Structure 1
Amino acid sequence: MIWSLNRKIILGTAMRLTPTFIIPIFQGGNENDSINPQADLNEKTGWDRVRAMYSKNEFDEISVELHSVAQATMSGLFIGACLGGFAKSRDAYLNFIENNQATIFQSTFQAKKKLQDYVTVAFAKGAYHWGWRLGIFTGMFSLVSTTISVYRDQSSLGEYVAAGTITGAIYKANLGAAAMLVGALVGGVLSMLGGILILTILKISGISMDDIRKSLYKLKEARQDQFNQAVDKSASEKHDSLTQHHDEIVGSQGFKKIEELH
C-alpha cells in the first residue's frame, strides 16, 4: 500500500515537472512567465491589459509592449534590407562581369565606377524589395502575438501559432482565398517552429518575454538620457537668467498638467 502511494506520488511529480523542464512548449506558462505579475492583485481583465498596451502614459509615451513591437519591426526591416541588398548586389556583380567582358572602357577608373553604380543600384532595389516586406511581416506577427500574450497574461506556443497563421493569411490576402489558406498554413508551421525555439531558449535561460521587453525599453530610456546629457553639455548657456526665472516660477507654483490649465 505504501509502495503504491509512493509510486503515484513519484509519477505525478514527474508528469508535472517533465513538461516544464524538457518540453516547456506544452505548458501554458508559470508564475515567472506572467506579463503582469500584479494582475491578480489589481484584478485587471484581459481587455484592461490590452487597453493599457495601446494607451500612452502621462508623459505621452507608448507602452513597453508597443515599443518592443516597434523594435521588432525595425529589426525585420533592417535584416530584410541587408539580405535583399546583398543578394541583389552579388547577382549584379556577377552579371556585370559576365556581360561586359568584351566591353571597352576608357580607363580602369571608368570600369570600376560603372561597376560600383550598377552594384549600388541593385543593392538599393534589393533592399527596398525585401526590407519593407519583412518589416511589415515581422511587425504584424509581433503585434498579434504580443496582443494575445498580454490578453492571456502569459507566454505559450499558442500565440505564436495564432500570430503566424493570421499574419500569413493577411500577407497573402491580395492573391485570393487559396493563397490566404496557403499563407496561413505556412505561417502557422514556421511560427510553431520559431515559437518552440524561442520558448525553449527562454525556459533554459530562466527569463520571460516581459523581461526582454522591459530591457529593451530601459535601453531606449538610457539612449534618451545620454542624448539629453549631450544636449545639456552642448548648450552655451545652461543656466541663463531667463531659465533661472522660469525655474523660480515653476518651483513656486508647482507643475500642472495641460488639462488643468484654463
Structure 2
Amino acid sequence: MTEQQPNSVGWWEWLGWKGSSQPIQPPPIQNNPKLPEEPIPTTSVVAVVHPKVIESTEVIPQTGWERVKAIYERANSMEKDVTVRVVRMTFLGGFLVGGATGYAQARHAYEMNNVGRKYLSPSDAVKRKIDYAIVRFAKGGFGTGFKCALISGSIVFLTTHVTAYRDKFASWYFPAISAIVGGVFTFPLGLIGSMKAVGLGVTSGLTLSAVVHLYGMAIDKPVNDAYKLFKRDYERELKASAEWDSRVTELMQREQIVWRQQAVKKLKQMDQEKMAIFDD
C-alpha cells in the first residue's frame, strides 16, 4: 500500500495564484566597505599656550564669624594693629601719669615712716630716699598703666570686632561699649563707682563718635563708608610698611649690614638713584 502524501497545495494556489513554492529570501545585506581613514594633518610647529597662573584667590567672607576669623588670617589687619597700638600708648601714658601722681604720696609716706631713723651719712639718706621714690613710681605706674591699657584696649577691640561681625559701623558703638566696659571693670567699687564709670564711658564714647562724624563730613561720606575708607587706607599703609621692612631686612642680610638705620639710608639712596635714571 502506498501512503498518500498530504496535500501541500496552499489555499492561495487553490484560488489560482501561482506563487513560488520556495520561501522568499530577503536580499543579502552587504556590509558597507570600510572607509579609508583620513590622515590627521600634522604640522611641524606646535603652538603652546601657557595657562594663566593665579597666585592667590581671595574668598569674601559671608557670615559674621567668618569676617571675625578673617581678621586673624590676614597679614595686615587694621583691627589687630589698632588694638596693639592703643594698648601700648595707653600703657605708656598710664605709667607716666600713675607714677607722677604717686610720687607726692610716696614722699610723704617715706618721711612719715622714717622719722627718727639714723643713716650713715647724708648721702646715704638721699640714696635711700631716691630708691624708695623709684620703687613707688614704678609700682604706681605699672598699676595705672595696666588698668588704662586693659580698659582702652577692650573698648577698641570690641568696637572693631563688632563692626566686623555686623559688617557695619554705627555711631552708638563707642558710647555703648565704653559704658559697658567701664561699668564692668569698676563693679568692685560699688554702685556709685560703676555709675561714675558708665557716665565717663558715655562721655568719652560720644567724643570718639564726634571725631568719626567730623571725619565723615570732611570726606563727604556717611559714617559707615568713612570707616571702611579709613580701614582700606590704613591697611594699604600697613602693607607698604611691611614691604619696606622686608626690603630693609633683605638688604641687611645680603650685604651683611649690622645697623638697621644704615640699611635704611642705603636703601633710600638706591631708590633715589633708580628714580633719577627713570627721570632721565
Q: TM-score, normalised by structure 2?
A: 0.53
The alpha-carbon distance between structure 1 residues 223 and 117, as it changes in their structure 2 partners (threshold 3 A), is: farther
Q: What is aligned with 1:191?
A: 201
> Shift of residue 126 of structure 1?
0.3
Say whether the 8 Å CA contact 1:68–1:217 is kept in structure 2: no
Q: What is aligned with 2:69?
A: 51
Moved more, 67-76 or 100-109: 100-109
The alpha-carbon distance between structure 1 residues 156 and 103, as it changes in their structure 2 partners (threshold 3 A), is: same
Q: Please state whether the residue corresponding to 1:76 is helix, strand or coil.
A: helix
> Shift of residue 201 of structure 1?
2.6
User: Which structure carries more relative contact order (alpha carbon 8 Å, separation 6+)?
Assistant: 1
> Shift of residue 213 of structure 1?
8.5
Gaps of 5+ in 1: 1-41, 239-262
> Shift of residue 209 of structure 1?
4.7
The alpha-carbon distance between structure 1 residues 228 and 102, as it changes in their structure 2 partners (threshold 3 A), is: farther
Cα separation, 1, equivalents of 2:236 and 2:201: 25
Q: What is aligned with 1:149?
A: 163
The alpha-carbon distance between structure 1 residues 145 and 186, as it changes in their structure 2 partners (threshold 3 A), is: farther
Q: What is aligned with 1:166?
A: 180
Moved more, 81-90 or 215-224: 215-224
Tell whether 2:127 aligns with 1:128: no
Cα separation, 1, equivalents of 2:104 and 2:185: 28
Paired positions, count: 189
Q: Which has the higher helix share?
A: 1
Say whether the 8 Å CA contact 1:161–1:189 is kept in structure 2: no
> Shift of residue 65 of structure 1?
0.8
Tell whether 2:210 aligns with 1:200: yes
Tell whether 2:137 aligns with 1:119: no
Q: Please state whether the residue corresponding to 1:155 is helix, strand or coil.
A: coil
> Shift of residue 218 of structure 1?
3.1
Gaps of 5+ in 2: 1-59, 220-225, 258-280
RMSD, aligned CA: 3.7
Moved more, 142-151 or 228-237: 228-237
Say whether the 8 Å CA contact 1:168–1:180 is kept in structure 2: no
Please list the CA deviations of residues 122-161 of structure 1 after superposition, one character each: whole Å capped at 9, or x if unmatched.
0111022212222111121111111222233343332123
The alpha-carbon distance between structure 1 residues 191 and 234, as it changes in their structure 2 partners (threshold 3 A), is: same
Q: Rg larger in 1 or in 2? A: 2
Say whether the 8 Å CA contact 1:155–1:209 is kept in structure 2: yes
94, 105, 122: which one aligns with 1:91: 105
Cα separation, 1, equivalents of 2:243 and 2:98: 31
